[in-house]
């Protein structure tokens, strides 16, 4: 009985008692659902949890708020992030990360949950490696460009926003027999352009992963025009070129009057879809479980419908590739 009690006290002594959660980098719909799930799971497990406002900048500024079961009530349906977000150049330095670790220790924070994209997760990994701070990453980015997860938080909502806007543009394009060049986000990844273009039947999709042949695209659109097509939608990821550049290449060669629409940051906003709310909730819950099981330095990922934990080093050492079958399919169906 004494041995059992001693073992129990030992187990309790190494349990994490206080953690922090933060959102960093570009916001994504569903981040609030992940915050909510992490907070309520932590509270249920008797773990104290604080929120860090404004990402790594807020960490260095010691901008912390106490989180409770009640404080995250009613936030799941809200877009953006209640903890807000920002970029932080100081945290990109070794000295900045060291100071961040010292601040966490000063407040008795034993572990950190970071919700964000590639840059945010890289910062979390370096903080952990350099200063022995336990971290768990949650992928939140509308670009869906994080390796080893089928979907990131915010992608589904973003796509629904883009698709809804393109569908409206198709209506007016048909009425006036015009071509619309629609620029969507995606500096290094063409996932948003490819998926939204497929879902709306766009006549052409331009993504950074494939070299652009303006002559071939123009010829294709002109031939469709001659066959009686009365409208045209070209979806272009911002990493390829601006919509204005694409329009200059196209407008005198495709037989349509051309209009430009740049969707911009509207793609980041809006109430998250059911898919994003559930995905984010699962990831937030799983992040706390990973901390309890001391599975540190991992990212929560969705693979084949299941939550899995992938080492951050593995995630960040690889570049997620666009599915080539989707690219081939887009050429056939457009």
Q: Catalytic residue numbers? A: 143
d(CA 256, CA 275): 38
Q: Which ranges constitute the DSSP H helices of the chain?
A: 2-14, 31-44, 55-60, 94-106, 118-131, 155-176, 191-200, 214-226, 243-250, 274-292, 312-316, 324-333
d(CA 147, CA 323): 12
CB atoms within 10 A of CB 299: 29
Beta bridge partners of 181: 234, 260
CB atoms within 10 A of CB 167: 13
Q: If you compute the radius of gyration of the chain from its CA atoms, what whole number of angstroms results?
A: 23
- Report the side by side order of strands in the sheet with 178-184: 204-206, 232-237, 178-184, 257-262
Beta bridge partners of 184: 237
Are 113 and 21 contacting, i.e. CB atoms less than 8 angstroms apart? yes
Phi and psi at residue 289, to the nearest 5° = -60, -40
d(CA 53, CA 38): 15
Are 119 and 62 contacting, i.e. CB atoms less than 8 angstroms apart? no
d(CA 167, CA 238): 19
Beta bridge partners of 139: 116
d(CA 62, CA 108): 13
For 134, the token pair is 């336990």
Enumerate residues 6+ apart whose C-beta is below 8 A from 207.
186, 189, 190, 193, 194, 237, 239, 240, 322, 327
- Residue-level length of the chain: 334
């Amino acid at each position: 009985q004494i041995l059992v009690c001693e073992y129990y006290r030992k187990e309790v002594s190494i349990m994490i008692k206080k953690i922090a959660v933060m959102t960093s980098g570009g916001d994504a719909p569903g981040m609030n659902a992940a915050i909510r799930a992490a907070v309520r799971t932590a509270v249920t497990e008797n773990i104290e949890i604080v929120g860090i406002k404004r990402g790594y900048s807020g960490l260095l500024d010691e901008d912390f708020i106490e989180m409770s079961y009640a404080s995250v009530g009613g936030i799941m349906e809200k877009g953006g992030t209640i903890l807000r977000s920002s970029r932080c150049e100081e945290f990109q330095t070794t000295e900045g990360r060291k100071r961040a670790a010292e601040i966490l220790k000063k407040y008795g924070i034993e572990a950190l949950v970071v919700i964000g994209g590639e840059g945010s997760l890289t910062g979390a990994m370096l903080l952990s490696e350099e200063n022995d701070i336990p971290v768990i990453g949650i992928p939140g980015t509308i670009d869906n460009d994080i390796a080893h997860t089928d979907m990131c938080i915010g992608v589904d909502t973003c796509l629904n926003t883009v698709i809804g806007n393109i569908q409206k543009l198709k209506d007016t394009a048909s009425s006036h027999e015009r071509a619309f060049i629609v620029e969507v986000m995606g500096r290094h990844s063409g996932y948003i352009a490819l998926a939204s273009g497929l879902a709306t039947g766009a006549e052409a999709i331009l993504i950074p992963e494939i070299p652009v042949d303006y002559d071939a695209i123009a010829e294709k659109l002109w031939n469709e025009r001659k066959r009686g097509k009365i409208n045209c939608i070209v979806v272009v990821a911002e990493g390829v070129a601006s919509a204005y550049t694409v329009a200059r290449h196209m407008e005198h060669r495709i037989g349509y009057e051309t209009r430009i629409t740049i969707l911009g940051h509207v793609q980041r906003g809006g109430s998250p879809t059911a898919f994003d709310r559930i995905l984010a909730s699962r990831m937030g819950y799983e992040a706390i479980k990973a901390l309890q099981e001391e599975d540190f330095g991992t990212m929560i990922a969705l693979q084949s419908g299941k939550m899995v934990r992938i080492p951050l080093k593995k995630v960040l050492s690889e570049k997620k590739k666009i599915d080539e079958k989707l690219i081939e399919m887009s050429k056939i169906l457009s």
